Structure 1
Amino acid sequence: MDPEMDHGERILILGAAGRDYHTFNTLYRASAGPDTVVGFTHAASQIPVIASTRYPPSLAGPRYPRGLPIWGEGELEAVVAREGVTRAVLAYSDLSYSDVMALAARARAAAASFELLRPEAGMLRSQRPVLAVTATRTGCGKSQVCGLAIEAARAAGLVPVVIRHPMPYGVLEEQAVQRFETPADLERHNVTLEEREEYEQHLARGVVVYAGVDYAAILAAAEAECDVVIADGGNNDVPFFKPDLWVCVADPFRPRAQETHYPGDANFRRAGVIVVNKANTAPKEGLAAVAASAARLNPSARLIATASEVTVACPAALRGRRVVVLEDGPTLTHGGLATGAGFIAASKYGAQVVDPRPHFVGALAATLKAFPHIGPVVPAMGYSEQQAADLATTLAAVPADAILCGSPIDLARALGAARLGGRPVVQASYGLDPLEVGGGAELAAELGAFFGRAAAARAAAAE
């Protein structure tokens, strides 16, 4: 404890290497008030591996010349006692209400108060129009909506840039402001598999992606080269930027998520447009439940149901063949789903799914133990080199004819073709068809109208 700063509230920020840093940067770093931040805790249940154990002085600012420590969330009570913490601030997402209250109970039992910040806390104002794409849970299909938005912005004659929710799991000083334009930038920034899952699909559309740690600096850099900002949210977090149009994507396979998980509940209640995705494969009762929630919790929002169509380039490569299915990692782990797009593709195209779980090794075996609901698929866990190695070993050990990749990563590029047992990788793609009669066309029109207004305002300002 630093006696020179022993006054006011002593704040501990509970996080998972993302929103927590943004909360500190925007609310506390330059604050002249009496409160002091003592450090962060890290939730290994969501991000099992991070490289940094200290928030560096270069990002912490002059008030914190030694930076700030990052402890494991399991040390919460000990940190509160040792550091004299008086307030614990929750700053991460995709938590069930029971998980939120469990953290509150732990903090309060340790003699600290517990705070949930309002959505506007830390929201930055942009000089460009902002479309914020959020969700009720991770794995709802935000990236598909972002893809449609990118095309709608371009159709309006605008230059979009995507700013992605933070995923700084490496050396924080080197990740303050990250700009991705080509696949080579992924290598230069030494990104994890989880980051590839989010960035590669946008790069394939030819759009620049920003991410990192310091989102005020990130926003300024993005504004210098774009006409509109598409804020691609992470998990079910609320936007980092004040949105001009707030979109929330809901999942009818988890139809009560907007009433059971924090802070996606705020997205659902605050959004101007609620997109009910996966309508082509979801049960009717799930669709009805989301619609009923919208009518009760946010009746002024526009409700649009969309189809999430899963396709592969060569269906013949799957029919009748044995496949091991790789899925997006967070969708299966803290997202709570048993399977994902890859499993849907296997069923659609007549492939035989080989259960990979008996072949899990190392970090993957630990993941299955922590999340036993995971079905006969492999979560793309790769927060570290060891996790990536365990993933490659597992995939190579499964007796299958091909790997069906339901994650948007370029698997052969990320892991190396030689490590995959010499088997072909069949990529499953998923997206919203803007020409689809009904939901897709309706959402495309909604986004087109938004970007049309932005283009008109830009033209008027130039006159």
Structure 2
Amino acid sequence: MTTAPSSATRVVILGAAGRDFHDFNVVFRDDPTHEVIAFTATQIPDIDGRRYPHELAGRLYPQGIPIVDESELPDLITREHVDLVVFAYSDVRHEQVMHLASTCIAAGADFRLHSARRTMLRSTRPVVAVTAVRTGVGKSQTVRYLSRLMREQGLRVVAVRHPMPYGDLAAQACQRFATYADLDRYDCTIEEREEYEPHIDNGVVVYAGVDYERILREAEQEADVVLWDGGNNDLPFYEPDLHIVLADPLRPGDEAAYHPGEANVRMADVVVIAKCDSARSVDIEAVEASVRSLNPRATVLRAESPVTVDDPTVVRGRKVVVVEDGPTLTHGSMSYGAGVVGARAAGASHIVDPVPYAVGSIAATYAKYPNARGILPAMGYGAEQVADLEATIRAAVDAGACDAVVAGTPIDLTRVFTVPVPLVRARYELREVVPGGLAAAVRGALPVGVSDAREASLS
């Protein structure tokens, strides 16, 4: 980084290895009137201390761009004469966004939130986007449901997943996943596998990476419809022909309290209130009223998330450690997920608190996210975290506290580690309370004749 002011507007982008890179690529990469002097990093461990590589940063940044921890922001603004700070990550309370804004304003920098229109790319194919009000609402099961629905209509569906570039950014610019071998080839983390494996199991090719213009153009070559699989509660990167947003009655009020989840609700064509089989009626009604107040034009549907355990006999009457999707418990703020629901339904005698057995980074996760205590988050952003996850389970088993493991993550964890007790999966799917609502929304949004060979299937 330089230390002297320049004639260009000096910019810092606040991010978490996803939206921040996309906003840079779309808004700043080729703009000589703005100089991005750093990204900051938060939410995801070990993503600071790297550089956004010159191969992706472009001709104006031959040395690339440093990535520093968000805690350095006030000093960074002063030291680097920063003019503008751009907020570019997701699943953050409105008040936290404004605390960051106040920090920037006090330090002498402007604070900006880009609009969806400013950063969305236009596809040559129809786009169906699935986003949410919070992490862990049920986007993945909805995307799986929609992909099956559209393929039953004879359409070629390609999913594009919100970025999770935790490794070599240049090598991850544009990734295509069609087989399990692709997951191994790209050395995917648990978090990446959780998002890609279900698509592969569903027979759908999925793209992801860093350069979403390039990803889109590649995906368009083999798609009749591009299915945007959103991350956290972020806005779509592509301009949708149909925007479906998931709302969560287990966290009533969050649809109007988090950024950019509220923006998603206001933009939505369809809002699906998920988990209606496990939420209180009063909370379902409250979320629906809130959604209708924020966006009176949206179609509001209700859905359930039934959970099944592969082999309930492994669970019945036993002490189990439950492993849940990591981000759902961390920045998603949930205290349980499908694994707990499945374990209880299958008759587990006791859900084991893993905290006394937590090792290394797992113990650090509990310190940072106390709401996750009692359940084991599937933290796996790198080999060390995967080893700590396995070691935590083994410690519980060695202490005689654990007879079995119930995994509520969307992947087969036995592909990444082994444990000395049976491990069964808790699976969950979307089920519309009144069937046909999503199919009707898809038919109404996709243009007639979306492909010559498939026109009749949409009529």
Please indicate, yes or no, whether the TM-score normalized by the shorter chain is above 0.5: yes
For residue 282 of structure 1, the aligned residue among 253, 275, 279 is 279
> 1:52, 1:170 within 8 Å by CA — same for their partners in 2?
no
Q: Which residue of 2 aligns with 1:365?
A: 363
1:219 matched residue in structure 2: 216
Superposed, 1:69-148 pairs within 5 Å as: 69-148=66-145
What's the offset of the Cα at 1:52?
Answer: 6.1
Instruction: Tell me which residue corresponds to 1:257.
Output: 254
SS at match of 2:31: coil
- In the alignment, which residue of structure 2 is the partner of 1:313? 310
Distance 1:183 1:177 in 2: 17
Note the 1:3-402 alignment, pairs <5 A.
6-32=6-32, 34-43=33-42, 46-50=43-47, 53-351=50-348, 352-398=350-396, 399-402=401-404
Task: Please state if 1:459 is matched with 2:449.
Answer: no
Any conservation in 1 of the 2:48–2:68 contact (CA below 8 Å)? no
SS at match of 2:123: coil
Instruction: Tell me the amino acid that sits aligned with residue 220 of structure 2.
Output: E
How far, CA to CA, are the matches of 1:3 and 1:397 in structure 2? 50
CA displacement at 1:454 relative to structure 2: 4.0
CA deviation vs aligned residue, 1:242-274 (integer Å, no higher than 9, x gap): 000011000001111121100010001110000
Using a 3 Å threshold, how does the CA distance of structure 1 residues 346 and 237 change in structure 2: closer, same or farther? same
TM-score (norm 2): 0.95
Name the aligned partner's letter for residue 307 of structure 1.
Answer: E
Distance of aligned partners of 1:51 and 1:77 in 2 relative to their CA distance in 1, 3 Å threshold:
closer
For residues 204 and 170 of structure 2, the distance between their equivalents in structure 1, rounded to whole angstroms, comes to 25
Deviation string, structure 1 residues 393-443 (Cα, Å, up to 9, x no partner): 00111221111000112111012x2xx1x211100100013xx5x334433
2:446 corresponds to 1:443: no
Cα distance in 1 for partners of 2:215, 2:95 equals: 34
**From 404, 407, 410, the counterpart of 2:406:** 404
Deviation of residue 344 (structure 1)? Answer: 0.5
Q: Which amino acid aligns with 1:412?
A: T
Tell me the amino acid that sits aligned with residue 439 of structure 1. Answer: V
Instruction: Extract unaligned runs of 5+ from structure 2.
Output: none
Match of 1:387, as an amino acid?
A: Q
**Unpaired runs of 5+ in structure 1?**
none
Aligned residue pair count: 451
Alpha-carbon distance between aligned partners in 2 of 1:361 and 1:64, rounded to the nearest angstrom: 40
TM-aligned CA deviation for residue 457 of structure 1: 3.4
Moved over 6 A (4+): 460-463
Query: Which residue, 422, 425, 428 being the options, matches 1:427?
Result: 425
For residue 313 of structure 1, report the CA deviation from its aligned partner: 2.3
CA gap 1:151/1:138 in 2 versus in 1, 3 angstroms: same
Distance 1:259 1:147 in 2: 26
Letter in structure 1 aligned against 2:188: V
Looking at structure 2, the residues matched to 440 and 217 of structure 1 have their Cα atoms a distance apart, in angstroms, of 36
The answer on whether the counterparts of 2:306 and 2:429 sit within 8 Å (CA) in structure 1 is yes
Partner of 1:242, secondary structure, is coil
The separation in 1 between residues aligned to 2:444 and 2:142, in whole angstroms, is 14
Displacement of 1:153 in angstroms is 1.2
Q: 1:20-42: CA deviations, max 9, x gaps?
A: 0000000011124x221112000
Amino acid at match of 2:357: H
Shift of 1:50: 2.4
Kindly, what percent of the aligned residue pairs are identical? 48
3-state DSSP class of the match of 1:120?
A: helix
- Work out the CA distance in 2 between the residues paired with 1:370 and 1:316: 35
Shift of 1:195: 0.6
RMSD across aligned positions (CA): 1.8
SS in 2 for 1:439: coil
1:358-402, CA deviations, whole angstroms, 9 ceiling, x for partnerless residues?
111110111101111124210000111111111010011122111
Q: Take 1:290 and 1:223, find their aligned partners in 2: how far apart are those partners?
A: 36
Q: Distance in 1 between matches of 2:302 and 2:455?
A: 37
1:455 shift after superposition: 5.8
* AA aligned opposite 1:294: V
Letter in 2 for 1:427: R
Corresponding letter in the other structure for 2:281:
K
Kindly state the Cα deviation for residue 51 of structure 1 after the two structures are TM-superposed.
7.4
Distance of 1:461 and 1:9 partners within structure 2: 49
TM score, norm. by length of structure 1: 0.94
Q: CA deviation at 1:347?
A: 1.1
* 8 A Cα contact 1:132 1:246, kept in partner: yes
The answer on whether the counterparts of 1:88 and 1:107 sit within 8 Å (CA) in structure 2 is yes
Q: Which of 351-360 and 324-333 deviates more?
A: 351-360
| Displacement after TM superposition at 1:101 (Å) | 1.1
